[in-house]
Copies of this chain bind each other. A is one copy, B any other.
Amino acid sequence: MAIINKNFRTLAAGYLFPEIARRAKAYQDANQGVALHRLGIGNTTEALPPAVLAGLHAKVDKLGHNDTYSGYGDEQGDTPLREALASYYKSLGVEILPDEFFVSDGAKADAANIQSLFDRRSIIAIQDPAYPVYVDSNVVAGRSGQFDREKGYYENFVYLPGTEENKFFPAPPTQKVDLIYLCSPNNPTGAVATHEQLQAFVDYAITHKAVIIFDAAYSEYISDENLPKTIYEIPEARKCAIEINSFSKFAGFTGVRLGWTIVPHELVAEEAKPGELHSMWFRRQCTFFNGASNIAQAGGLAVLSPEGLSQSRAIIAYYMENARIIREGLRSVGLTVFGGDNAPYLWVQTPKGMGSWEFFDQLLQQCQVIATPGSGFGPAGEHYIRVSAFGHRENILRAVASIKDNLVLEVRS
């Protein structure tokens, strides 16, 4: 009598993107032939650059000859790639040993699976708004109570709202928690934690023997040199933080699939000495994973070469120019815009306190622009929309022009 894991029934329906698709389709059906401008999805659009393509092709060629063919690699990733990642962190001013990197098929899987290292009764703190994976993976693991539709929160989770007052990066919780998920640069708000803000979380974690799961998937979009690109810029973070990152937004690998997680040797938990969590993640990856694609890993190594880095950063600069165009366009019509300077997302306040979905509909109906309602990322996202800077330039320009030409904002009272 197999019985299902009933925690899956606790998961609230994945409502956001299907609902966006439904409304877009309804509009399109009613307005045949009208083109929609899609600024909703955080997906890369620009071709991989030459150095990376060369690395991918070269690996495929190797797989075609018996003397260079390779099968299973190490679950934790190829040594040259882990060494290149260590050099990359050194260029950020941070010392990470090659064996502290665990190469994966992307940040999402690691962000979802990392909770399996911890006790089922752990208390979870998450930013609100947030990328849904942190919450959903812990619901499936049985750490939540029921979903409260009124509040938009799961019982038993500790939500840390990001608001205009705290510049969309919250302070540490006031009560005791065990695991804290942070995302900086943040999806969806585009906010980046300062050294002081991260230091406060590290201090909290050291004091309470909590563990920080730090999602840095957008770190390469930080151009302000005063902002930390990795939590290990806070020295004590090696005792209390796991960092997850990815080549997806760094180098257009959203479809190629490659990421990494850092579990420092010094990381501790209650009754777990330095080294045990590192060994546990090693064991977890060797049991539940068989390594990232060796083709993708060769691509990742090419990304970290001098040419690969400069070509990939040129594409990031292209997306960030998109962000600048969107920001200036939206401000020129009187909208209040946050983010978008060190992240590819803009966090736009709805005019006159409109609801997120109401403003979504207005942008769709008046401007044929699709954004993402902020409330879809959590209750604190209400009265905001997320605008993504990923897209071909010509589409971004058309979308901004349409907003400038067609958006009718009533005068604020």
> A residues near B, CB below 8 A?
1-6, 8, 11, 14, 43-48, 50, 53, 56-57, 60-61, 63-66, 69-73, 105-106, 108-109, 112-113, 116-122, 132-133, 136-137, 140, 142, 176, 178-179, 208-211, 252, 254-257, 269-272, 276-277, 280, 283-284, 286-296, 392
Interface CB pairs A-B, < 8 A, 18? A1-B269, A2-B118, A2-B209, A3-B121, A3-B270, A4-B271, A4-B276, A6-B119, A47-B63, A105-B105, A106-B290, A109-B288, A109-B290, A120-B142, A137-B288, A140-B288, A293-B295, A293-B296
**In the bound complex, do residue A289 and residue B108 qualify as a contact, i.e. CB atoms below 8 Å apart?**
yes
- Cβ contacts under 8 Å, A255 to chain B: 63, 70-73, 291, 293-294
Number of copies: 2
CA distance A46 to B66 in the complex (A): 5
**In the bound complex, do residue A283 and residue B71 qualify as a contact, i.e. CB atoms below 8 Å apart?**
no
- Cβ contacts under 8 Å, A277 to chain B: 4
CA distance A78 to B359 in the complex (A): 33
**In the bound complex, do residue A122 and residue B2 qualify as a contact, i.e. CB atoms below 8 Å apart?**
yes
**In the bound complex, do residue A292 and residue B257 qualify as a contact, i.e. CB atoms below 8 Å apart?**
yes
**In the bound complex, do residue A60 and residue B71 qualify as a contact, i.e. CB atoms below 8 Å apart?**
no
Contact pick for A64, options B47, B73, B109, B296, CB 8 Å: B47
Distance of A349 from chain B, by nearest CB (Å): 28
- Cβ contacts under 8 Å, A70 to chain B: 255
* Most chain B CB inside 10 Å of its own CB: which residue of A44, A133, A256: A256
- Cβ contacts under 8 Å, A2 to chain B: 118-119, 122, 178-179, 209-211, 269-270
**In the bound complex, do residue B4 and residue A118 qualify as a contact, i.e. CB atoms below 8 Å apart?**
yes
- Closest A-B pairs by Cβ, 5 of them: A71-B254, A255-B294, A3-B119, A112-B288, A43-B71
CA distance A60 to B298 in the complex (A): 12
Given contacts A256-B294, A284-B140, A289-B108, whether A392 and B72 have CB atoms under 8 Å apart is no
Residue of B nearest to A269 (CB): B2
- Cβ contacts under 8 Å, A271 to chain B: 3-4
CA distance A96 to B164 in the complex (A): 52
Distance of A123 from chain B, by nearest CB (Å): 9
Distance of A284 from chain B, by nearest CB (Å): 7
- Cβ contacts under 8 Å, A122 to chain B: 2-3
**In the bound complex, do residue B5 and residue A118 qualify as a contact, i.e. CB atoms below 8 Å apart?**
yes
**In the bound complex, do residue A295 and residue B256 qualify as a contact, i.e. CB atoms below 8 Å apart?**
yes
Residue of B nearest to A107 (CB): B290
Residue of B nearest to A390 (CB): B71
Residue of B nearest to A73 (CB): B255
CA distance A66 to B211 in the complex (A): 41
Distance of A26 from chain B, by nearest CB (Å): 22
- Cβ contacts under 8 Å, A142 to chain B: 120
Residue of B nearest to A256 (CB): B293
**In the bound complex, do residue A8 and residue B293 qualify as a contact, i.e. CB atoms below 8 Å apart?**
no
- Cβ contacts under 8 Å, A50 to chain B: 64
**In the bound complex, do residue A287 and residue B133 qualify as a contact, i.e. CB atoms below 8 Å apart?**
yes
- Cβ contacts under 8 Å, A211 to chain B: 2
Distance of A385 from chain B, by nearest CB (Å): 21
Contact pick for A118, options B3, B61, B66, B71, CB 8 Å: B3
**In the bound complex, do residue B57 and residue A60 qualify as a contact, i.e. CB atoms below 8 Å apart?**
yes
